[in-house]
Chains A and B, each alone.
Chain A
Amino acid sequence: EADIYQTPRYLVIGTGKKITLECSQTMGHDKMYWYQQDPGMELHLIHYSYGVNSTEKGDLSSESTVSRIRTEHFPLTLESARPSHTSQYLCASTVGTGAYEQYFGPGTRLTVT
């Protein structure tokens, strides 16, 4: 069973607020990812990191930012939330060897009013 955690699980917040979605893993994985999942359930990679102090933008442009100061922690921040940011956000990690399967956290359901 994967040990990857996301908090909060659900968040309802007003427009203009700054928010941080937390993601932590206890598996020592170097590589971590953030996905945005749209209502049709399709997954879009928005950020990834291959190690401490390494972050890259994904395939879908996002107004969010990420940081990777510790191996186990990969938070995502929205400086000013808007209704268009309403979505499900999923964090994942992989050990980066073998088949590169990714392990996912339970997700954060964000609603911006």
Chain B
Amino acid sequence: GDSVTQMEGPVTLSEEAFLTINCTYTATGYPSLFWYVQYPGEGLQLLLKATKADDKGSNKGFEATYRKETTSFHLEKGSVQVSDSAVYFCALSGGNDYKLSFGAGTTVTVRA
């Protein structure tokens, strides 16, 4: 079945550092890929998405590129802020059953 593996946390960074969170997936067919963010005490928010190979999703300075050859969708941000402290989830939609498969989540803490 479909599955997502993402980098274990927690990740602690200083402000203005570069952030990468690795995400790889296993799926049949051509899934859509997502990154969600969860701030403390809130639900998940869609951060960005990509629906086909080589697509780049971007939002709020975050980027991720759908790499079919490496089955990856790594999240990157060039200069993090304290406000980026959150839990980040990688997810995929196989498109057959309207469900999402989520990674385990990566907790990111950015220190001033």
The count of A-to-B residue pairs whose CB atoms sit within 8 angstroms is: 57
In the docked arrangement, what's the CA distance between A103 and B100, Å? Answer: 11
Mostly, the B contact residues are strand
A102 at the interface (CB under 8 A from B): yes
Q: How many residues of A contact B (CB 8 A)?
A: 25
Within 8 A of B (CB), among A80-94: 90, 92, 94
Q: How far is the CB of B25 from chain A (nearest CB, A)?
A: 14
In the docked arrangement, what's the CA distance between A31 and B38, Å? Answer: 21
| Pair B44/A104 contact, Cβ less than 8 Å | yes
18 residue pairs of the A-B complex, CB under 8 angstroms, read A41-B104, A41-B107, A42-B105, A43-B89, A43-B102, A45-B99, A48-B99, A94-B98, A99-B93, A100-B95, A100-B98, A100-B100, A104-B44, A106-B42, A106-B43, A107-B41, A107-B42, A107-B43
